[in-house]
Amino acid sequence: MATILKNLSDYDFERVPSGETMKIGIVVAEWNSEITFALCRGAIETLIQHGVQEKNIVVEYVPGSYELSVGSQWLAARNDIDAVIALGCVIQGETRHFEFICQAVSQGITNVSLKYNKPVIFGVLTTDTQQQARDRSGGKHGNKGVEAAVTALKMCEMARRIKS
């Protein structure tokens, strides 16, 4: 469904697995921190609502979205972490940095996920404007951090079921 029609915070609460026994890593880009810290708050609140214990949420910060790949890799490499959520915000500027960063981080976290055989969730907003990013980090289109947290819990449950 196109994002414009979807509220990123809308989901069926009952269909989200319990996170009681799960340990989740979150890596947050500091670039556009007004947005990314709001994504992080949304993710943490959602994880806690679904039973993840605060001590089982590990948050680390990297300078920008480009660094999310290696930051995710360092967390994914830890045996005790079930899934990693990568949170960033890349806003279209006047240069081609946007394309390079988006391409690098999307490919990078996919590689980490496949290398470590565990979920690494793409919680990166890629928008034309700051306002579009605000709308998706707790504004009128919800919060992508919430969506990322729900995705992490669903994928953790699937991994445990299939891999065990």
For residues 27 and 87, the answer to whether their CB atoms sit within 8 Å is: yes
Which one is catalytic: 78, 97, 115, 160? 97
For ligand RBF, give the closer residue by CB, 19 or 42. Answer: 42
Residues 6+ apart with CB under 8 A from 49: none
Asked if 29 touches ligand RBF (CB under 6 A), the answer is yes
3-state secondary structure of 137: strand
Asked if 93 touches ligand RBF (CB under 6 A), the answer is yes
Asked if 69 touches ligand RBF (CB under 6 A), the answer is no
Give how many residues touch ligand RBF by CB under 6 A.
Answer: 16
Q: How far is the CB of 30 from ligand RBF (least distance, A)?
A: 8
For residues 46 and 10, the answer to whether their CB atoms sit within 8 Å is: no
3-state secondary structure of 71: helix
Q: How far is the CB of 17 from ligand RBF (least distance, A)?
A: 30
Across the beta sheet with 120-127, the strand order is 57-62, 24-29, 83-91, 120-127
Question: Using CB under 6 A, which of the segments 77-85, 86-94, 111-119, 142-150 binds ligand RBF?
Answer: 86-94
Looking at the annotation, which residues are catalytic? 97
